Amino acid sequence: MKSLLTLLFLFFSIYLSAQENLPKQTLRGIIMDETLETTIPNAKIIIDTYPERNVLSNESGEFHFFNIPVGRYTLRVFHNKYEPATIAEIQVTSSKQTYLEILLRENFVEKEIEEIVINAKIKKDKILNKMALAGGRMFSTEEANRYAGGFDDPARLASAFAGVAGGVSSNGISIHGNAPHLLQWRLEGIEIPNPNHFADLSTVGGGTFFSISSFILRNSDFLTGAFPAEYNNAISGIFDMNLKKGNNRKYEHTAEIGVTGINLSSEGPVSKSTGSSYIVNYRHSIIKGLNFQDLSFKLNFPTKKSGTFSFWGIGSIDKYKENAEENKEKWENNGDRFTSDLKQYMGALGITYKYNISEKSLLESFAGFTTSEYTTQQNVLGYDIQYSPYLDLKSSNNNISLSTSLTQKFSPKHSNKTGISILNLFYDMNYRVSPIETQPMNTISNGSGSTTLFSGYSNSYINLSDNIITSLGINTQLLTLNNYWTIEPRASIKWLPDNSHDLTFAYGLHSRMEKMDVYFTKTSKTRDNLVNKNLDFTKAHHFLISYHQKLSKNLSLRIEPYFQHLYDVPVIADSSYSVINRNLLYVEDALVNKGKGRNLGIDITIERYLDKGYYYMFTGSIFDSKYKGGNGKWYNTRFNRNYIFNVLGDKEWMVGRNKQNVLGVNVKLTLQGGLRYSPIDEQATLLHPDKEIQYDETRAFEKQQPSTFLTNFTIKYRINRPKVSHEFAIKSINTTRDNDFIGYQFNYKENTIKLIKNNISAMNISYKIDF
């Protein structure tokens, strides 16, 4: 409370001393061809100031609007060779220049600008990758900073999209009932490890908070089904992220401090003469019990004749310690008697190269190294008050990625992207645990090795007519460990009868290799025999229909029914176990590719874009997710919640003596079905020496937890002053402290089995300065 009063005092002090002159700023950007990223000169850009202003892009495709009063604006862009575009919700603040990269799509027929001005329309949710005609949306960093519940965390923001469920105690992304680990994370063109703090602990594929700040991310794509041919090794979806380029004209900085920690970022020119730039971000948490920090950066070096080179990197460190309760009288369950020491590291370094071979060709190449390491030790305190080793786990994964692609524009109607990628994977794991306390630890799972995943693809974008577009492609991948390979067709077609409707049909065959620990599993039972070495890929047919209608200038409706058929899913023979439901860091059993799965549902999104100070969005999903185990029986999947509903809303007011400050209130409400779980085998639990909970796997995921109702809110106040801005914010996630089901524990005091739930409920009161 003391810190809150101090922040409020600072707030009113700065407010009362605000200058009378309305602060102004520069809005600038670059206009580029969306296929080849070549610059477009002589484009007309209109900004909706009063009176309206317009400029032309120069020979380098750049444009500038100087002395723009702070506020939100809409740009309209026109060129006689390109389709017009409207960019809405552009926020101009006093502290930092606003920079935009605007991509235009080439027209079939060249038109005069005057003919096309009236046809410009907002395409806010348009997927950035032009080959993806449906099954996703653009992820906006402006939304990540604004939406309630986002907590500047893209993974949490994605849970607001239709078909996506987030956890209460984890930010794992479950798409259409699929497990979070079936999602692929991509950064700057390469696959990266799970980029979350405390990754894979409560949910494989999820974590606590995202380890890349939204300050350094630029607009990216979030794909949820039937994705284009350039994407391989994914079943449920793709989070395709990119890092911002730093401001190459001016040095700009941000410092934020709050209850949850500090956040520092800086950007600016490396050389103003060459246009090179840097951007860097560092965060450090001060949350009790959760010690984590992360660093991200990007260096961008354009050249006059040799293309553009970018060097980037991300890294995170997580540490967690928990001590045992040494007073025996207070022991209630086994968790009270354990000490834990956990450390996690994740990092990625990469180089990106882009070069326009000609006016019709773009060469892109990517190289990267990624690493992730996990270590944990546990000791158990016995009834004699003596510690004994209980668990020792060490796991590391190191990958080297190489890829290159050539994009060719044959004509305004036909463009093609063809490429190859090589992913070298290196793995090492040793997991030991004591079967019963005080007994020596046994090896549960260990293994080490390496393999390579090759992939190649070709995808064409073809305008069949003025109102019919198609995307056709094929992907193939080969795992050298066992020489299994796939050929995966991808196809979609979009019909646009007019400017307010479109209908898309999409299909794709997709596959994903298992995590390395599955292939290299060696246990005390199997000795040196890799029992899972010859596992094939998990595969899935994706079918999707997308109907979009523009209800008004700022209001849109999207309806997407879908069906996914999964097959060749690894399962344990004669068991209900399937990797579809995996939630443990290790696998210790032999698996066979005899499992199946099916996901059927419909996603609905109604969205009003931010205009006149407010926006709202409703998303609803009704679905059913089932799987077939190794025993040939069908069950609910762990993530078959059946329904998810989200309501988001935001209102902004321009306040202050000259209406130069911004007050924003944002709310998000979520109602979703509970997670599934298996009933307890009480007799087997009571007979177990350590009273370890035993589940009845013959009735896998038969039961369902009650629905969860999550509330999140954000209140922000930004004070714009010349060359600097101050922002005070209160951000809350899971305000009502709803819980996720974790499992059961035996309570020694009451001699009963008790349900264990967990949640992350956090409130961050923060102050940020941009200068």
d(CA 139, CA 673): 25
Q: Is the pLDDT of residue 14 over 50?
A: no
Instruction: Tell me the residue type at 428.
Output: D
Q: Which domains does the chain have, with CATH numbers?
A: 24-123 (2.60.40.1120), 145-340+355-734+744-770 (2.40.170.20)
Of 330, 154, 116, residue with least CA distance to 241: 154
Which pLDDT score is estimated for 9? Answer: 45
Give the mean pLDDT of 351-361: 94
**DSSP 8-state class, residue 16:** H
- Average pLDDT on 708-719 reads 91
Mean pLDDT of 532-540: 95
Kindly tell me if the per-residue pLDDT of 684 is higher than 70: yes
Q: Which two tokens stand for residue 253?
A: 């900085």
Q: CB-based contacts of 309: which residues, under 8 Å, 6+ apart? A: 300, 301, 303, 351, 352, 353
- Tell me the per-residue pLDDT of 428-440, one tens digit each, with 9 for 90 and over: 988 888 877 778 8
Of 520-534, 628-642, 659-673, the one with minimum mean pLDDT is 520-534
pLDDT at 525: 65
The CA-based angle 521-522-528, given to 5 degrees, is 135
- Per cent of the chain over pLDDT 70 is 93
Q: Report residue 758: phi and psi, to 5°.
A: -150, 160
Q: Is the peptide bond before 497 cis (omega within 30 degrees of 0)?
A: no
Q: Are 325 and 333 in contact (CB under 8 A)?
A: no
For the chain, helix, strand, coil in percent to 5 are 10, 60, 35
Mean local confidence (pLDDT), 164-176: 84
Q: Is the pLDDT of residue 7 over 60?
A: no
Read off the DSSP letter of residue 707.
Answer: P
For the chain, give the mean pLDDT.
Answer: 88
535/326: higher pLDDT = 535
Say how many C-beta atoms besides its own lie within 10 A of residue 15's C-beta: 16
pLDDT, tens digit, for every residue of 128-144?
A: 899 999 999 888 877 77
